[in-house]
Chain A
Amino acid sequence: MKKVVITVLICFSVVCFASVSMAQANTVREDCGCGLGGMAIGEKTGLVWKLVGTFLNGICANQTFAMSSGTLDCGEVQSLAMNEQLNTYVADNMDALAVDIAQGEGESLDALAEIINLPEAQRSDLNLKLQQNFEQIYSSSNVTHETVVSEISEIARTI
């Protein structure tokens, strides 16, 4: 009897451990894409949170400005006259871009400059102008990625 109890307990502890592990083998975010659900619960791990993440993404409307990815990629990225790639990139990097623009430099801005095919010599100029116009680009906390894209494009045109 004693042996049985011990065996069961060991199995239980190992399986518990394994189950927690595996539920996370792909994380909440990876399952959910980059939307609000994934972001909001990024820190929480485990099966329950994974389910919540899926659920949240299911009901996610087109709110804006979650960190880094924004909730934007939950909704359909609208293709304006702008380059599809730029749209996707800005939507996916709303917060990271906001920080880099306010700081006047950074990896997210370097990537942006590459996407819009801006010659390297002009990138510093663009960054500076974007920084000077930060409050116009990110005019409110409800700003959408479409607005950010068009503001950035407008400024890039003056370079």
Chain B
Amino acid sequence: MLPVLAAAVLLASPAAFAGSPCDVDRLLELAHAKNLHEDRYWHILMHYEQKWFGVESQIDDPDFFLATEGKYDPGAELDATIAYLFGSGTAQQEAVCRFYARYGWLEKMLAEALPGCFTNRSCPAIDRIDPQSASLVFPTYYLNNPASMFGHTLITIDTAYSSRRLANAVNYAALADPSDGVALAISGLTGLYRGYYSVMPYYKKIQEYSDINQRDMWEYRLNLRPAELRRMVRHIREMDQIYSDYYFFDENCSFNLLYLLEAARPSANLTGRFHIAAIPIDTIKAVKEEGFIEDVAFRPAKTTRINYLAGQLTGRQLDTVLSLIDGSGSPQDLLNRSMERPEKIRMLDLAVEVIQYRYVTKALEKAEYRKQLLALLGARSQLGRPETNWQENIPVPPQPEQGHDSKRASAGFGLQGGDAFYELRFRPALTDLTDMDTIPNQGAQIAFGDLRTRYYPEFRRLTLQQFDVIDIVSIAPMNVFSRPLSWKFNTGWHRKPLDTDDDASYFRINGGAGVAREFPFLGLCYVTAEGELDISGDMPADYALGAGATAGTIFAVGSACKINLYGRGLRFFAGGHHNDYAAGAVSNFKVSPNNHLSLEGQWEDAGAERYTVSAIWHWFF
């Protein structure tokens, strides 16, 4: 728990509350007369959700509820809360501090009628927290960690300091018990993890996301006023040590932050928008639509900084930087060279960024890292400050919330061999290799539940063409300083032409790893070695196991078109022996942010040849 918020509570002096006359029965009566248990703010504070029958709180910790049936009964919980806060049976300050958000709301609703109950009651420890502003922070997609694939969000609250690094980062995350491996395996989707809110210095989050995970971060500054911020802080304190079951798709990190924003500004409708899934970027769009966002700042990850700086240097200068990194050149020698000072600064700064990157990726031992870092920084400290700091010149990519929406419906037509077909597609999430909105310079595909059906009018036949459960591709280019692994994993139903009669439907599990590199004119070129297991009643032995490779390139044409060319060959050597070759092109034109047009062509031979061309219109929503 973070110093400012936590220390304030710990240091709270036990200020005595003068026992003003308070008639608890009158309070209850009034609360009933005003139907307070139906008040929206009560439902926000209790995280109540409308269910088919009545309501249910999304919080699962019994410590959060004062009434036995509080999770399902807003009225009973309200009565119990009033009895707890104002009854004689409890230590009043402790009660008020434990549920200060509930207390503050009751004060607003009832203090006018019954002032006696609210005089001389407060929680100085929480009142001392003086929030100034808040931001919603979005560390972008991180393909190397499936849980973070869709990104993550957290809220930062600035208190006494104006420095961003010293803000309080409020985070909601699942707390896994690493001692129980079996539970870990099953818990993912079934809500067996407990999710907690936590507060820590923002600099720790910057280290985690920006320095170690190499994720660019977006900071959306919110226009919350001090009174709203205080309401949010009170609710955060109320949620301290309180757990809810964590669900990967809906009751996740991003969804749970929305309660905090609603606690600050109850007029906003945020949690009510998400039912099946809450994708982080969609929650940001919702927050934006509700008018919370004031401005936005970009915090580049270490690799983004390295790529920028490397792009500023000539080939010879890069060689010098490499020599500093591999130890063949000394930083002091660099100082003595006849070269402009700003150039020396850029080279040393780049070398520092790179050795830090190498250290966190375990390419460099700690002892060696320390030695190199100090030598480089020692030389750097003799060069003073540059006229303009290069960090301010790093280009800001397009804001992620301005990209297309997450869900996609598509319609189109095409030809397979000589047969015409119409095609309908639906994909709940999120992006693919030819998407213009993803991080430039990186091939990222995160596709869930991609469903494709075809209708062949000539044969009056409807077919399930494809259903991908998941299809993830991460193509990360190597450069002189780093050699990241590219990889892919996909599983789902597909079709392939095993013989001339008909396409065989099969279920496949396919995964692979490889390398990628960016070349001028050729684009982002990639090669992956891969293995595949097919299961199908149309194959001998009902399965086929194979291995092979895919190679391809992705490149942009102008600012609104991206093309993926690929070739693939797999040899199935167990079960249903066959070879499967394919080559094709997918081009994607961005007509508007939420309307794209794809032209696709593919040749495939898995025993019989098949040519397919199609034109598909995509609509994102």
Question: Are the CB atoms of A67 and B145 closer together than 8 Å?
Answer: no
Q: How many residues of chain B get a CB closer than 8 Å to chain A's CBs?
A: 71
Q: Give the number of chain A interface residues (Cβ < 8 Å).
A: 69
Give the residues in chain B near A108, CB-CB below 8 Å.
165, 203
B211 at interface, CB cutoff 8 A: yes
Among A20, A23, A138, max chain B CB count under 10 A is at: A23
A17: contacting residue among B146, B164, B165, CB under 8 A: B146
Residues of chain B lying within 8 A (CB to CB) of residue A17: 146, 188, 470, 489
B26 interfacial contact with A, CB 8 Å = no
Residues of chain A lying within 8 A (CB to CB) of residue B186: 15, 19
- Is A14 an interface position by the 8 A CB rule? yes
Q: Is A60 an interface residue (CB 8 A)?
A: no
Could you tell me if A27 and B207 are in contact, using CB atoms closer than 8 angstroms? Answer: no
In the bound complex, residues from chain A placing their C-beta under 8 Å from that of B537 are 2
How many contacting A-B pairs (Cβ < 8 A)?
195
User: Is B356 a contact partner of A67 (Cβ separation < 8 A)?
Assistant: yes
B340 to chain A, nearest CB (A): 17
Q: Is the CB of B165 within 8 A of A107?
A: yes
> Chain B residues near A2 (CB, 8 Å)?
535, 537, 542
- Considering only CB atoms, which chain B residue lies closest to A104 in the complex? B385
Q: Which residue of A lies closest to B196 (CB)?
A: A26
- In contact, B147 and A134 (Cβ under 8 angstroms): no
Q: In the complex the two chains form, is A40's CB within 8 Å of B366's CB?
A: yes
> At the interface with chain A, which of B168-176, B495-503, B588-596, B607-615?
B168-176
CB of A145 within 8 Å of the partner chain: no
Interface string of B249-278 (1 = CB under 8 A from A): 000010000000000000000000000000
Identify which of residues 113-147 in chain B touch chain A, using a CB-to-CB cut-off of 8 Å. 144-147
Cβ of B389 under 8 Å from chain A: yes
**Cα A138 to Cα B374 with chains together (Å):** 8
Instruction: Give B198's nearest chain A residue, CB to CB.
Output: A30
Nearest chain-B residue to A140 (Cβ)? B374
**Which of these, A13, A26, A92, A138, contacts B176 with CB under 8 Å?**
A26
23 A-B residue pairings within 8 Å (CB atoms): A2-B537, A9-B535, A10-B507, A17-B146, A17-B489, A20-B146, A22-B176, A23-B147, A23-B178, A25-B176, A29-B204, A29-B207, A34-B204, A40-B366, A42-B212, A67-B369, A85-B3, A93-B203, A102-B376, A108-B165, A127-B385, A131-B385, A134-B377
10 smallest beta-carbon distances between A and B, as pairs = A18-B188, A134-B381, A42-B212, A102-B377, A141-B370, A25-B174, A111-B163, A19-B185, A22-B188, A21-B147
